[in-house]
Amino acid sequence: MLLLRITSRIIFANIEMNSIVMKKASPQINPSDACKIPCFDHDKVAAIKAMLSEQEERLPELAEFYKLLGNTTRLKILFALGKSELCVCDIAHVLELSTAATSHQLKSLRNQGWLRKRDDGKMVYYRLHSIDLLKALKGDLKMLEARLG
């Protein structure tokens, strides 16, 4: 009998937990965030669909681009290399990371084509492939600062 009570309590607790999780997972729509009547501008929608269709094959690449930028360590590397070419050890010290962890991040950035690697004897140096990325990042940072006030 005791086992039955414990089992039923566990089952009830699981049901309660699942309903709590489901309540948290389901988004609440604020009525002020949506149109009050269902309608749309046919010409505007058609033009935007055509534009998106033209960009369709590039969007996954762009998503990957932003995914790589969604890492603070990689952003720090890009800003650091905006100052000058650095060896892996220097970058690791700047970031206070191991050389292995730093090399892993550098490889991701290099594979994307953002960095250039130069071997010099036993040293490995990295630099930005193009200053354009750094300019864009600095512009984004200024925009964020302006937005935050």
Q: Where are the domains of the chain?
A: 64-148
- Helix, strand, coil fractions of the chain, as percent rounded to 5: 70, 10, 25
Q: Selecting from 3.30.390.50, 3.90.1170.50, 3.30.365.10, 1.10.10.10, what CATH number does the domain 64-148 have?
A: 1.10.10.10
pTM: 0.65
List the Cα angle 62/142/76 in 5-degree steps.
65
User: pLDDT tens digit string along 2-47?
Assistant: 444 444 444 444 444 444 444 455 567 777 777 777 778 889 889 9
Q: Is 137 a residue whose pLDDT tops 50?
A: yes
Q: Is 91 a residue whose pLDDT tops 50?
A: yes
User: Could you tell me the CA-to-CA distances from 126 to 36, 70, 95, 103, 120 in Å, in that order?
Assistant: 55, 20, 15, 10, 11
- Structure confidence at residue 88 (pLDDT): 96
Read off the tokens for 12.
């009830």
- The residue-averaged pLDDT of 76-94 equals 95
Read off the tokens for 148.
């935050």
First to last CA, the chain: 64
